[in-house]
Every structure is written in C-alpha cells, then in structure tokens.
Amino acid sequence: MKSLRQVIRKLILESDGISMYDVKLASKDENNKRFIGNYAKKVFAQNADIPFLKSLIYIHTKRFDAVDSFLKRSSKDELSCIFMEKDMWEGALQAPYAFGDIMGTGRIAFVIEGHPTWVQNKNASTGHTGRLKRKYYGNQDPESGVNKAPGKMYGLGLPHHQLDGVIMDADDAEEFGLQDFYDRPNKNNEALIDNWKCTAILRITHHTDREDSITDEYNAKIDEAIEKVKSRWPQAVIIETEID
C-alpha cells in the first residue's frame, strides 16, 4: 500500500521528498559555488507547499539567561526551530512529550512566525549561528543575515541520509511523520525560518512526570520574559502549554 501511494503521488506530481540527484543538478547549474546544502534548500523552495508549512507551529528555545541575546537577533538570520501541529485542547497547546527536554520548564520557548526555508522530521545539522558567523562571515553580521543549510554544521558535504524525512507538503507530513528522532542522539526535528518574528511565549501548565518543575519561580521568569519580548514584539502573548 505504501509503494502504491508513492507511485500515485509521483503520477500527480506531488512532492516525493528531495533526491540527491536534484540537489547535485542544482549545484552544477551554479558551478558548485555554494555549500551543497544551500542547493537542497533551493530544491525545497521550488517544491514546498508554503501555505501548508505555515500552518505548523514553530518554536525556538533558549536558556532563561539568553533571552536578552535572543532579542538582539536579526530577523534576517535563519532561525532553527522545532515544529509540530497546532494542536489545541481547551485553550491550551498540546506539545509532544518528546519535546519535554528542549522546551520544558528548564528553558523558555518562543513561538516563531516567518518563511520556512527547510523543514525536516529530524535534526538537520544546520549549524549554530555564532559558529557559522565565525567560519563563513569573518565574525561579522552579514547584511543579508546568517544563512543556514542542512549539513552545514560539519561543512563536509551532504550525505544522502541527510535528505531523509524532508517535509514539503501535507503528504510528506503523513508519509514521514513530523518527528523521527526517538533513536537518535539529538531529540528534535528542525525547521529553518527566515524573516521571522516572535508572536508568543509558551507557559508550561502541565508536564507529565515533571509537575514539580512548574514552580512560582518558573512562572515569574515567564512573566519577566514576556515583558522583555513585548519591547520588540508588542503583540506577543502567552500561550498555556501542556507537555504530555
């Protein structure tokens, strides 16, 4: 049945993921002048169903002591986010238990809106902004922003498996799933968002097996953070969130 679905998708020209052949062809067209992961993003841009991808919710997390540095980030720097469906129940956002470590009460989670340039159901190894700035931009802030790409953390090319689980449309989301990282060292999926803004902060109100982590101190930190965020994004709100 799965093979039949894949054939049908090809026949009606729907997304069937990204092939290394297409990436190398795009790279060859420009005489391989950029990091090959950028050409994977080019293929993504040509085929992605952006309205569907924008229907997902994207979340960027930071340590509480890094909120001030986050506020200084350029919206032109591509931002790495985890992502999930906008699953609301009785007014609260329902987050997967697997995201507990990365977006739980030990960190602060920001809801991000912008243009998705890469969406994958596992960690895409796109690199840390500071390290990329040092390696590719002479530790300067490029006017066009810091550009990320799958595999760029290592800068050694793009192995075939790095293209597994790329989400470009609703069929990919159903075929591959939004999460495929339970047996991997990095317990997150990854999307790149460009020209972004922060629209909300998540306040954890329930965390299965970790209810004792929801303290008055945690809530005070959220309240302090939202006031800082509003200084840059006045429309940002708090969204109550359950991790289960």
pTM above 0.85, yes or no: yes
pLDDT for position 15: 52
Q: How do residues 54-104 score in pLDDT, each as one tens digit?
A: 999 999 999 999 999 999 999 999 999 999 999 988 889 999 999 998 999
Assign 4 a pLDDT band (cuts: 50, 70, 90). low
Strand partners of residue 204: 241
Cα Rg of the chain (Å, integer): 19
Q: Work out whether strand 237-243 and strand 190-207 pair parallel, antiparallel, or are unpaired.
A: parallel
For residues 129-139, average pLDDT: 73
Burial 93-117 (b: 16+ CB within 10 A, else e): bbbbebbbeebbbeebbbbbebebb
